[in-house]
Amino acid sequence: MTIPSTIKSLLAFDFGTQSIGVATGQRLVGTASVLPPIKARDGIPNWDVIADIIKEWQPDAFVVGIPCNMDGTESEMSRRARKFGNRLHGRFNKPWFPMDERLSSFEAKQYAAELGHKGDYAAKPIDSLAAQLILETWLALHPI
């Protein structure tokens, strides 16, 4: 898939039913940074919070992590994450790109441990760190 060069800044989301991780990144430098996660109720976020984030960061597009099974097949969470991506597109009229996120939460937990995280993920959620890793992977695959 060829990504237009006009898409330079992105927001990435690690979809979850209780919390949605968020990260921002730039294709020019290929880096991403975490933003505070968004609370969700059964996968439904407060869309006004997302609108505020979009207004602040002005992304050209979105990346949504798709939690595929280890064999590459889609799960119920995959379908829900795709639905979330479609809703982002419908509400904010910006393209979205799916990104296979297998093992992103596992990798985020390992990375958090390296940073001294003690494993209390309720107190310090890793959702946005997972979104950062998802976006960094996408950026590496789609440089300008």
Secondary structure (H, E, C), the chain: CCCCCCCCEEEEEECCCCEEEEEEEECCCCEEEEEEEEEEECCEECHHHHHHHHHHHCCCEEEEEECCCCCCCCCHHHHHHHHHHHHHHHHHCCCEEEEECCCHHHHHHHHHHHCCCCCCCCCCCCHHHHHHHHHHHHHHHCCC
Q: What is the pTM of this model?
A: 0.84
Q: Is 74 in contact with 25 (CB distance < 8 Å)?
A: no
Render pLDDT for 36-87 as a digit per residue (tens, 0 to 9). 999 999 999 999 999 999 999 999 999 999 987 777 788 899 999 999 999 9
Domains, the chain: 9-141 (3.30.420.140)
